[in-house]
């Protein structure tokens, strides 16, 4: 069994796990607001941003100076004592770093191109800032580690797969501790890319609502420390699959999503009715919510409470899997009420297959949570977390 010994996170809900837990309970996200300058031909749109100052990256890491890596440092600061103790105990070559991202430092690259187009100097930019492998390379170097370090980029399932990979490294004996997670930053490229696909909402997203029209993009980072030594929260099971059905649309019967969930349940030795809550991928696009509702209906019926938290964090792309797994861990750790879906602006879509979408907070009655991440290209990952009794 693999366990979670520490977690740190930062997103539109807040700048620490404690602040995020409090705001998740209140259903309030200070960073979800209208912002200018991101969407072409639009004066403003709603995005999930991280507010306040971020840690500085020192001169010796100039090649890694990106907002993405600053978000990682903010998450790292929350788990630093546990990481430091692990390095002292196990050694720098026995700590793995596995991260997920979709954009890395792409925003810095975008700003560099704008400077060049306008005939301006761009002295701070280096290509490594936007390389997809940079987050793990940076964090491993920052901590002085020599163990396995790599970055996964499978769109919205990236950091969920980082969790899965970290578990495998420990089970294979290649690491004693795995620091897993991910980060993604607001960037014009994915924002305008989703807009060109007619999948972006300029207002706050409305998962599973009749009036839903697309995603709200957010930024954030989260890190977990995985260990084989018993802790209060366990990584019970994982599942993953690839549809290869369509580059941006889910399989019409949700075949790959079903396989990933079934794998996670089988891996954990659990049945569907053992699950106490499902954190849905819930992007608020027409197809995602339709297919995910069908998948949950077919596997769980209406008995398991479920909701998407993306109206509180935005869709954090490559960081979504770790963000939502970390929110699930906070619910288990602090016995938080389950977050309801927001139907204040539009009712539940009556055309969706019936499942247990929450319309009001309620307690977690079975301490096992399933967190789903379903990405472009049908790249699916499901994570089961549970409280150890």
Specify whether the CB–CB gap between 388 and 230 falls below 8 A.
yes
Q: How far apart are CA 183 and CA 71, in angstroms?
A: 7
Active-site position among 64, 156, 195, 311: 156
Active-site position among 281, 306, 311, 355: 281
Active-site position among 195, 251, 315, 355: 315
For CA atoms 282, 285, 288, 290, the dihedral sign is positive
Pairing of strands 356-357, 2-10: unpaired
Q: Closest Cα partner for 15 from 58, 73, 56, 57?
A: 73
Annotated active-site residue 311? The verdict is: no
Annotated active-site residue 315? The verdict is: yes
Specify whether the CB–CB gap between 17 and 6 falls below 8 A.
no
| CA distances from residue 165 to 57, 159, 162, 171, 181 in whole angstroms, order as listed | 27, 10, 5, 10, 11
Annotated active-site residue 195? The verdict is: no
Q: Which residues are catalytic?
A: 156, 281, 315
């Amino acid at each position: 069994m693999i366990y979670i010994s520490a977690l740190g996170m930062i997103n539109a809900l807040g700048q620490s796990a404690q602040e995020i837990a409090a705001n998740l309970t209140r259903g309030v996200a200070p960073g979800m607001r209208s912002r200018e300058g991101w969407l072409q031909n639009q004066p403003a749109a709603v995005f999930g941003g991280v507010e306040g100052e971020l840690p500085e990256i020192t001169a010796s890491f100039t090649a890694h100076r990106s907002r993405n890596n600053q978000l990682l440092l903010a998450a790292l600061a929350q788990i630093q004592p546990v990481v430091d103790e692990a390095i002292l105990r196990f050694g720098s070559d026995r700590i793995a770093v596995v991260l997920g991202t979709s954009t890395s430092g792409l925003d810095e690259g975008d700003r560099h191109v704008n400077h060049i187009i306008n005939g301006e100097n761009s002295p701070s930019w280096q290509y490594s800032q936007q390389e997809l492998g940079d987050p793990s390379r940076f964090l491993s170097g920052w901590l002085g580690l020599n163990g396995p370090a790599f970055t996964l980029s499978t769109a919205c399932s990236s950091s969920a797969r980082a969790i899965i990979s970290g578990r495998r490294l420990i089970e294979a004996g290649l690491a004693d501790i795995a620091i897993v997670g991910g980060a993604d930053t607001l960037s014009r490229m994915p924002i305008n890319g989703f807009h060109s696909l007619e999948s972006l909402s300029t207002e706050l997203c409305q998962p599973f609502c009749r009036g839903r029209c697309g995603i709200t993009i957010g930024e954030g980072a989260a890190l977990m420390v995985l260990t084989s030594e018993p802790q209060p929260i366990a990584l019970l099971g994982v599942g993953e699959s690839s549809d290869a059905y369509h580059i941006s649309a889910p399989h019409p019967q949700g075949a790959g999503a079903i396989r990933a969930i079934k794998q996670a349940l089988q891996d954990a030795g659990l049945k569907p009715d053992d699950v106490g809550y499902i954190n849905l991928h819930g992007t608020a696009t027409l197809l995602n919510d339709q297919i995910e509702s069908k998948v949950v209906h077919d596997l769980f019926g209406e008995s398991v409470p479920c909701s998407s938290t993306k109206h509180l964090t935005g869709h954090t792309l490559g960081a979504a899997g770790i963000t939502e797994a970390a929110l699930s861990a906070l619910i288990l750790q602090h016995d938080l009420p389950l977050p309801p879906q927001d139907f204040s602006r539009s009712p539940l879509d009556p055309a969706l297959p019936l499942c247990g979408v929450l319309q009001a907070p309620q307690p977690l009655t079975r301490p096992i949570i399933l967190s789903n991440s379903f990405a472009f290209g049908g790249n699916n990952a499901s994570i089961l977390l549970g409280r150890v009794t």
